[in-house]
Structure formats: structure tokens, C-alpha cells
Chain A
Amino acid sequence: MTAAFKQTMTNALLLPQEANITLPGAGQAWLDKLRSTAAEQFIKSGLPTVRDEEWRYTDIRKLKRQQFSVQFNSPDVRAALNDLIDYDVTRIVLVNGLFSPTNSTDKVPAGVSIQSLAITLADDSLQGLLGSTLPSDRHAFIDLNTAYCFDGVVIKIADKAVLEKPIEIVHVTTGADNATVSHARNLIVAGKLSEAHIIERSISVGADNAYLNNTVTEVIAHDGAKLEHYKVQDDAEHAFHIGGVFINQSRDTSVINHNIAIGGSLVRNDIYSNLLGTGSHGGMNGLVLGKDSQHVHNHTEVAHRVPHCTSDEFYKTVLDDKSRAIFRGRIIVAQDAQQTDAEQRNDNLLLSSDAEADSKPQLEIYADDVICSHGATIGQLDPKSLFYFQSRGIKKEDARRLLTFAFVNEVVDRISFEPLRDELTQRFLGELLPDSIQEVFA
């Protein structure tokens, strides 16, 4: 077996067996099987190359040249967390992929249970849940994450619980002597008629070396549940971020995923919304702000498996310098999923002559009584709008920034949790607008 690993794999990433890591909960048949199947699949598919259709725009050779090792320390990062905007949340901190009680809030609100994955795996309570949302066309990194299932957080929201405070999961990567990888695995189960906001944030603290954040979050929404899931990816500029969010929705649920990609040098997000119960709504909002030589690939899929569901996808991209963004959005309407209403938009703004935008919207429709549309645009700021500003005495450069901010803000505006919306608005204002104009907004 070891020989087989060596053949198929580069040195970049090792399976737990190769790295001689003892995994929590090992010895339980269901869990061993889950991990070993994933490991086998990982070996079989190997790390993707640009020859794979879904990776043709994303070259990961830069990542493969690294030699990542799993980091097992979980230092105190509370000082750094203080820099985060302080709003009233139930905060869970994962340091290097490990659940860190020291750094996390100790009070857990009523109606919700929050546990480390490592501890939860001691018994079979997650059997049938863990891995249940993963799509069959997943890539090798997701299988690698499953082969570990090492730590992360398991959030279970009780039936009818309506959480006032959002739960915030902060992924922190700390410095190390060499390149590191973390395989955080999270599971969120929302009970019937429950409501919650969940924020996932990734940041780094003194991580000067390259690191790979390979996270998977599974979301299971039971009948009538309402969830807003925010992913604010703010990794270090030299980081690799490969993240998966997989959502299974039962009847009459509404799950909206907001995907804000700011940091990282090579970023790939796989976001899948599986509408399995009638009357459900799946939402996806996305924002990419690319600069320098950032590469951000968002790979989304909304699957209408049953009748009477709606979905709405809205992705915007602003690219400066030599950055590149790829949007792939697939809408599948299964046979008999009648009365589907699915919408998708992807707008790209190119600010620099070295930036590149690639858009791959896809509709795959096997039912007839549907209303489906997608639209994609790539372009620049409207010269008429620029002229309007200039004719009113605003410099062209300032006008460009203002219009760019307005473009970005359309996504931010869809964030319903107000403190987060304000935080992002202020941040983009600061980044995009000149001081003279900021004063007007202040």
C-alpha cells in the first residue's frame, strides 16, 4: 500500500497513514470505512491537474511544490482575536484545524450543542451524517479531508431553536517553521424549524510560511430550518485555501451561503446546495476581490432534486493587477423537479490589463415546467457613469473607485446580519475609496 501511495502522490500532501498520525475514533468500523474509502479515492484520483475539466483554469503546481506537514499545536491566539471586530457572537476558534476551548467562548446559548469533532468521534453519533452531503464529483482535496476527519467543530441546533446570536467559527493558522496544512472538518445540523446565522472566518496569525487551509463544512438543514452561512476568507496573501461547503436541504428550508473571498494566493471554493425537499430555497452570494497575483476559483452547484424549489445565485468579481478569477456555476434541475425557479448571475469587473476573468455558467435541465436563467458579463466601468461623476467635478480616479465600491456593495448588501455587513462595508470603503470621499460616508 505504501508503495502505491508514493507512486500516485507528490510529496506535497500525505495521507494520515503515511504521516503516521493516529486518528480520533479509529477502530469504529463505520469511521474506518469512511476514512479508508476516502483515502482510496484520493489515491485513485490524485491531485487535480489542468487536464481535469474542472481545474483547467486552476494550476496547482505552485501548491504541489510545497511539502506540507500537519501542525498539531494549538497556541493561545486570544490577543490576535481581539483585533477582530467585536460584536456579540458565540465564538468557536479552530487553531490549525484543532478545536481550541481556550480561545473559544465558554458560554453556549440554549438550544445548541457545540462539540469538537475529535471528541464527538469517540462514539457513533455522527454515523450516517458525516460525509452524507458530499457530491460524487468531488475532487481529491475533499477526499483527503475525509481521510483525516481529525478535528473541527460539530454544531447541532435543536428543533425550533432560534439563535439570536450568530455562531462564529474562526479558523486561525499560526506560524510554523515549514509549510503546514490543516484539514478542519465541520458539521452543522440545523433541527426542524430552527434559525441561525453562522459565520466562518479564516485568518492567520504570524504565519509567514506557506500554508494550506483544506476545510470542509457540511450543512444539514432539517424541515423548515432557516440558515444564513457566511464564509469570510481572509487568509494570508501567500496562503492556499481550498474549501468545501456542502449543504443538504430538506422540506421548506432556506439556506443562504455568502462567500466573500478576500485573502489567499490560490483559492478554490466548492459550494454545493442540494435541494432535497420541496418548498425549499437555496441562495448563493459571492464576492471576489482579487489583487496582485491572486487566483480565486469558485465552483458552485445548485441541484434541484424535487419540485417547487427556488434558487438564486449572485456572484460578483472585481479583479485588479494580475489577479484571476474563475466562476463555475451549475444549476441542475432533475427530471420531475417541476415548478423550479432558478436564477444565476455572474458579473465580472476587470480593472487591469493583466487581470483575467473566466466564467462558466451551466444549466442542466431535465424537467420542462421550469423557469431558469443565467447571465454572465465581463466588462469595465460604464464610461457614461464615469463621465457623469467627472462632469460634477469628481476626479476620474475617484469616480472609478466609487463605482467599483458600488459594484461590490451589491453583494455586501445581501448580508442580512447587520454587524457583519457594516464591517465589510467599512472595510471595502477603506480599501476602495480615497480619504476625501470616505469622509462623506463617515
Chain B
Amino acid sequence: MTTVKELSPAPTKAELNPELDNLVGREYKEGFVTDIESDTFPPGLDESVVRGISAKKGEPEFMLEYRLEAFRKWQQMEEPDWAQVDYPKIDFQAISYYSAPKEMPTLNSLDEVDPKLLETYEKLGISLDEQKIMHNVAVDVVFDSVSVRTTFQETLKEAGVIFMPISEAVHEHPELIKQYLGSVVPTQDNYYAALNAAVFSDGSFVFIPKGVRCPMELSTYFRINETNTGQFERTLIVAEDGAYVSYLEGCTAPQRDENQLHAAVVELYVHKDAEIKYSTVQNWYPGDEFGNGGIYNFVTKRGLCKGENAKISWTQVETGSAITWKYPSCVLEGDNSVGEFYSVALTHNTQPADTGTKMIHIGKNTRSTIISKGISAGQGQNTYRGLVKVLKGADNARNFSQCDSLLMGDRCGAHTFPYIEAKNPTANIEHEATTSKISDDQLFYLRQRGLDEESAVSTIVNGFCKDVFRELPMEFAVEAQKLLEVSLEGAVG
């Protein structure tokens, strides 16, 4: 494990996203356009498109059936409108649902990258090598990413861990995909999940066999044959009895994508005594300060604690996206299983975020913890929406929820909508929520000790988020702190 870390000089587990170049700005985007027309479906969605996607990927029959079933259900569903977010209606027929992996233009040096972006990298502490990789700048011999990743692959192989793009897994491990795909998030689960199931482009598949503790933290960054996973990403992680894995998603570097709509699905399936720890840092392009552009992020994430003593822990730091609609959930079916949700959501400018979790207690002695920290600045609207449900058979279920909101500025908003349902008299549920601003006393104290206002605020904000940050893998936590600082720039005063 340690060797692995040493090999990776950069703190960021950046997802190699070939679309990153778009972040740089439109003014020179034209120069990079490669001929992709021939392999992109025209906008629109009907059955033939779904069949087409499946055919392009050469999928086996069961996958096509799965997609078609999802598509038919999707057609009968309505777009949900209950979230505390506001956005122009999405025209689902105006989107192209398949485009082949694109070649990323090669740059000669970082000088060709938008200086503003470089400045952000600098503040986030992203190393030069890392930056070069992200922009597909020719990399020198010292940092050969391919060999690093090959080493990782070998280590994983030795441990028996399967980690590959889901499109490959469909061919190589069809029995596992058949067994687990859609077992936690059924195709008809919700509008966006159904859409994802019908048209998903690619994503990750992780399988940790019985008794194996995954020798390293997994991240999409280490996946070989990295291709553009597109806007409908699908992730499936299975931990067999007694297995453990920590999975990292996203990166702190700002990401821009021409696809405005993102509807990903993540499924976690945890057997007896196993544990999955899933950490996310989401920093998609949030649009400009007036709310133009930006990514719409409609994600369905759910984990099933199937066996006894299973455990799922979600940790998320959400700072990006023009719209965030995301409720990572835990279904605690096995007796004594544990679900955790730790979240920091920051909204700035005109961003709205509607996020939270669901904890469904089914088994006996199941426990769940929810810690949600919302920070609203500018005109940002931050909503926590959560459900804690204790079913009749869930004797001695225990939940503790804490949702705190911090307000910065008199034009932002913080909202809390928890749902608590208990059908068992031995359930013990506690929910607390507070909303406040940074007190003048706190600020004065820090300033009186020589901190300028901005550092004082970021110190307080970091303290506010501490309970969540300490759940993140260490280097991720350091980045997340910096990310908040950068995101809050200009929000003070």
C-alpha cells in the first residue's frame, strides 16, 4: 500500500477526463475539434437508439433486454419536480445518447492551458505532472502513468480483485453482471435511474472476493483503458463475505464537460461482514456567477447491506454542478448492519443543491449515522432532504442525524426536509438540525489573533466540516479543505 502511494506523487486521484480541455474556455476550443461526427448518434431517444448503443458495444442479449426494459419503463415515468431546485426543462430528445470515445488533443506544454485554470490548480496544490496528465500534455519519463497503473493492476490481480470498465465486465464476467446489475437500484427506481439503465455509456465494475481486503484505495484514476464514460455513468461494486474496499470517485480539480445532463447510477452490494467505503469529491462546472451553463447532476446512489454485519459508508464533498440532485442511500437488510452518510455541500453564486440520504432499516440492530453540513454563500440554495425509515421487523434500530447549515450572505438559503418514519417501538431515532451564520465573536477572535478575514472564515468553515473531512481518506481530505477555500473565495464580506 505504501509503495503504491509513493509511486503516485500527486495528491489528486483525478479522473482522466478527455473533456477537460473544454474547461479551458471556448475561445480556442474550435482548434481542437476532432472529427467525431461519424461516430455520434444524432440527438433523440427511441428504442432504436437503445438497441444501437447495445449493438455498438457488442453486448450480449441479456444486456439489451435489460436496457430495453428500462427504456420502456422510463417512457412511462414522469420527470420528478419535488426537489428544491429550479432549472429550465430538459429536452431529452435534444441529447445525443452515444458518442464514441474521443481522442484528446495533445498539447506541447502547459502554456497552452488557460492560465486561470492553472491558478486554480496551484491553489489546490495539484502537481505539475498531474496537471499535464489532465491536459494530455506529453509527459516526461519520470512520471510514467501507464507503468504506475500497470503495477496497480498486478497488485489487484494478485489479491483477486476485479476492477474494470463495466462494458468489459459485461463480456468477461457476464454471470456477475447478470446477478448484480440492477439488484440495488432497479430499472424502474426513478426517472433518471431508468434513463441511465437504458442508455448508460460506461463506468466501473469492482468485485472483491470473499475475505479479501482490497490492498489499495481504488479510484477510477487507476483504471486502465480509460475511456470517456460520458454523461450516463454506471458503477457497480460488490463486496463478498468479509471483503473490504475503499473507493474514491471524482477529483477536486474543476471539471467541465459539454454534456449538461449527468445521470449516473452507483450500486453497492455488500455481503456478510463486508464493508464498502465510498468517497466522492464532486467539482463539476457550476456555471458562471449568473447561473448560466453548468452541469445538471442527477445521481442515484444506493447501497445494500445484504448480509449480517455489513457496512456502507458514504462520504461526499459537493461543491460543483449547477444542479445537484443526489441522495446516496443505504438499505440495511442484514442484521447488525451499519449505514453512514457524511456530507459537505457548498453552494455559491446561484447554485442550488438538493442532497441528502435515505437509511432504510430492515434488519435487527441496524445502525445509521447521518452527518450533513451545508454551506450556502452568495445566492446559493442548499437543501438537505433525507429519509430515515424503520420497518416493523427492525428491532433496536438506531439512527442519529445531524444536519447543520452555515449561511454566508443575506441572499442565500438553507433548507432541511427530513422524513422520519418509525414502525417499531424499539427504534431509537434522533434528528437535530441547526442553522446559523458565522458569529461576529468567532470572527473577531480569529482576526484579533492576526488572521485576515478570509483565512478566519475558512478556518471556521473547515472546523464546521471537520466531522465529515475526517471520514475522507487522508490526501482527499487535505484537498477537500483547499477546495472549500478556493470555492469560497470572494464569498466573504
Q: Which residues from chain A sit less than 8 Å from chain B, CB to CB?
A: 53, 57, 335-336, 338, 348, 350-353, 355-380
Contacts and interface: CB of A to CB of B under 8 A. Distances in A.
By secondary structure, the A interface counts as: strand
A350 B407 contact: no
A369 B412 CA distance: 11
A379 B424 CA distance: 9
A368 B433 contact: no
Contact of A358 (B407, B413, B422, B437): B422
B420 A358 contact: yes
Contact of A366 (B413, B416, B421, B429): B413
Among B414, B421, B430, B435, max chain A CB count under 10 A is at B435
A355 B432 CA distance: 23
B418 A360 contact: yes
B199 interface: no
By secondary structure, the B interface counts as: strand
Interface in B422-452: 422-437
Contacts of A380: 425-428
B414 A365 contact: yes
B410 A359 contact: no
B51 interface: no
Contacts of B420: 357-360, 376, 378
B67 to A, nearest CB: 29
A362 B416 CA distance: 5
B415 A378 contact: no
Interface in B104-158: none
A369 B431 CA distance: 23
Given A348-B422, A369-B410, A362 B432 contact: no
Contacts of A351: 425
Given A360-B418, A379-B430, 11 more contacts: A335-B410, A359-B431, A360-B420, A364-B413, A366-B412, A367-B407, A369-B437, A373-B432, A374-B433, A378-B390, A378-B427
A350 B417 contact: no
B427 A362 contact: no
A229 to B, nearest CB: 27
Contacts of A356: 421-423
B434 A373 contact: yes
Nearest to A377: B430
A28 B119 CA distance: 71
B290 interface: no
Contacts of B422: 348, 350, 356-358, 378
Among A357, A363, A366, A371, max chain B CB count under 10 A is at A363
B411 interface: yes
Contacts of A374: 416, 431-433
B392 interface: yes
Among A352, A366, A368, A376, max chain B CB count under 10 A is at A368
Contacts of B413: 364-366
Nearest to A363: B416
Nearest to A347: B430
B319 interface: no
B62 interface: no
B11 interface: no
Contacts of A359: 418-421, 431
